[in-house]
A and B are shown apart, each in its own frame.
Chain A
């Protein structure tokens, strides 16, 4: 939690006003929209399209900055001529994301770190600069949520440009966190003032107690070789669902796709659980077994990333638990490691 620069209290109807104002500015507005029992970030044209009751979006907010597939280079080969190539048109569209959850916004810190340390990823950086994130406190959670286990909370304003604390009557307390949030708040000038008290919808209760991630790391530091990895990975089927939908996972592949004449070099999400991920053309594979790949995923989140960048790469959004077809449960894995470490 960070102290906001400024607080605004607005009455019901503020979202409509904001969305309309942004459309007037030709800004793209993304918000959670309900689709078949789940919510996804979609472009909306009116605030009414926005979900009112949702726990979290199926796809994390990372996809706005780091889409699952995108063109990097366009190329064309005309008969008798040299191949021509140019950067793909990736101009960042000015965007406001409404209704992002605190866990997802917390995860942007991990992505910011990776895409900017040393070399800067231009595509990510430009999208990041063009996007304003409006976070909203969670008022509901499900049994997979474990942000509290990772040191987060349902009403954490960290990572938001503007943070929304909803009130029962549709009004909200808005916390301006930075310059970008302030610019957005300005568009709300003249919004209906709140009526009555500033009573908030209570933030969601999230079950998971805080994990001692330092203890987890201590164990990981000394247990690269351990039967634990074989045991925990037997269940894992080696798909990419957990990583793809993880708000902090950022591995990618670069591939060329073309017909005979024209094509693109594209960047696609990739995943360290895949058997082929590290396999060399020679056939040598540094991580040949599922347990080595499962271990890498856990190590990366709770050891390597900390060693390297000083923070863990998990925010407790619970998506990996919700989507795992094999019933793998990260909370249980961490609990087991904690027990083993004690």
Chain B
């Protein structure tokens, strides 16, 4: 991967030197522990902080929503295939314009050691519609079905499933790390912060926690691209990916829709076609 790092630095340096972008958002082994975190290269000198390797598991698309980052100017951003899907959703939901981005796609065989679960059924190893692509095309078959985890979970009966979620959700401390790391949770004021009326209780008792986590999953229905960042950052280990994956499955099943595959798509909840509606409805 050393070559790719070099290529990335050259690309970034070129972009910054000719002022095509104000910042290159990428990965780098920053800090004394060497963890792979976000790097914001704003000068040609800073590109030496950038790196690429198998630890690029973060979805950097979240930073495109930060006003502090947008202030730095036009953004170049390093994305894997899954992250690229998040950008498609941001474009389709008018959060960012394609021309305001220089997308540096990296082909990806999967990240993490052991490989993250989302990588085992990934089908976007080669990020589409990028301005620069780094890495050789990847052609590998999924190791497991997209909904293997959901299907395994659903072999349990309803009481067992509910008990499982109660056990998990009671630990939620309402730190909102899931929301803050999510590239698609870009609301300036989250519904949980709206208090006229108070739709969602902010107390971290089971009732408030169920309300919050279910509400968030619902809000991501037809939008979530399954990057798994919410689950990764949850400090108390709530398997939020399982919740989101279930809704992704439902949307695929009922609407034949997979979020983030292109920027031109319309989400199932932002389109309504009377001709396709065969339901009598409630009225």
Chain A interfacial positions (CB closer than 8 Å to B): 36-38, 58-59, 68-69, 143, 230, 233-235, 237-241, 243-245, 253, 255, 257, 266, 268-269, 271, 274, 276, 289-291, 321, 323, 325-329, 331-332, 335
Q: Are A241 and B35 in contact (CB under 8 A)?
A: no
Contact A230 B233 (CB under 8 A): no
A36 proximity list for chain B (CB < 8 A): 237
| Contact status B204-A268, CB under 8 Å | yes
User: Is B114 an interface residue when CB atoms closer than 8 A count as contact?
Assistant: no
Contacts of A245 in B (CB 8 A): 173, 175, 235
Docked-complex contact B204 and A237, CB < 8 angstroms: no
Contacts of A239 in B (CB 8 A): 175-177, 179-181, 233
Q: Cβ of B202: which chain A residues have Cβ within 8 Å of it?
A: 253, 255, 268
Contacts of A37 in B (CB 8 A): 237
The answer to whether A240 touches B229 (Cβ under 8 A) is no
Within 8 A of A (CB), among B14-36: 30-33, 35-36
Bound CA–CA A241/B58 (angstroms): 17
Is the pair B180, A238 in contact by a Cβ cutoff of 8 Å?
yes
Supposing A290-B66, A335-B32 touch, asked if A240 and B203 sit within 8 A by C-beta, the answer is no
**Chain A residues closer than 8 Å to B68, beta-carbon distance:** 230, 233-234, 289-291
Are A241 and B36 closer than 8 Å at their CB atoms?
Answer: no
Are A241 and B204 neighbours in the complex by a CB distance under 8 Å?
no
B204 touches A69 (CB 8 A): yes
CA distance A161 to B35 in the complex (A): 38
Chain A residues whose C-beta falls within 8 Å of the C-beta of B58 in the assembled complex: 326-327
Taking CB atoms, residues of chain A closer than 8 Å to B63 are: 234
Q: Which chain B residues border A234 with CB–CB below 8 Å?
A: 38, 40, 63, 66, 68-69
What is the CA–CA distance of A235 and B68 in the complex, to the nearest angstrom? 10
B contact residues, range: 35 or more
Given contacts A240-B175, A271-B175, A274-B176, contact A327 B31 (CB under 8 A): yes
Nearest-neighbor residue (CB-CB) of A322 within chain B: B235
CB pair A69 B203 closer than 8 Å: yes
- CB-CB under 8 A from A268, the residues of chain B are 174, 202-204
A239–B233 Cα distance when bound, in Å, is: 10
Interfacial chain B residues near A244, Cβ < 8 Å: 173-175, 235
Which of chain A's residues has its CB closest to B195's CB?
A255
Interface pairs (11), CB distance under 8 Å: A37-B237, A58-B235, A234-B40, A234-B68, A234-B69, A237-B66, A241-B173, A268-B203, A269-B174, A325-B177, A325-B232
**Pairwise interchain contact A237-B177, C-beta atoms closer than 8 A:** yes
CB distance from B200 to the nearest CB of A (A): 10
State in angstroms the CA–CA spacing of A268 and B58 once bound together.
30
Query: Chain B, 212-247, contact with A by CB distance < 8 Å: what is the 0/1 string?
Result: 000000000000000001001101110000000000
**Contact pick for A255, options B31, B180, B203, B235, CB 8 Å:** B203
- Knowing that A59-B173, A240-B176, A269-B204 are A-B contacts, what are 4 other residue pairs whose CB atoms are under 8 Å apart, sorted by A's residue number? A234-B63, A237-B66, A268-B174, A326-B58
Distance to closest chain B CB from A319 (angstroms) = 9
Inter-chain contacts of A274 with B (CB < 8 A) = 176
Alpha-carbon distance A253/B193, docked complex (angstroms):
12
A325 with B181, Cβ < 8 A, contacts A69-B203, A234-B69 known: yes
Which one, B38, B198, B233, contacts A257 given CB within 8 A? B198
B67 at interface by CB-CB < 8 Å: yes
Contact of A241 among B31, B189, B205, B235 (CB under 8 A): B235
Tell me, rounded to whole Å, the shortest Cβ–Cβ distance linking B63 to chain A: 8
Determine the residue in chain B with the shortest Cβ distance to A290: B68
Q: How far is the CA of A255 from the CA of B200 in the complex (A)?
A: 12
Q: Which residues of A contact B174 (CB under 8 A)?
A: 68, 240, 244, 268-269
Q: Chain B residue with minimal CB distance to A67?
A: B204
B6 part of interface (Cβ distance < 8 Å): no
Q: B146 at the A/B interface (Cβ < 8 Å)?
A: no
Given A69-B205, A268-B204, A289-B67, also A235-B37 (CB < 8 A): yes
Residues of chain A within 8 A (CB-CB) of B175 are: 239-241, 243-245, 271
Within the complex, what minimum Cβ distance (angstroms) separates A233 from chain B? 7
A266 to B249: give the CA distance in the assembly, Å. 38
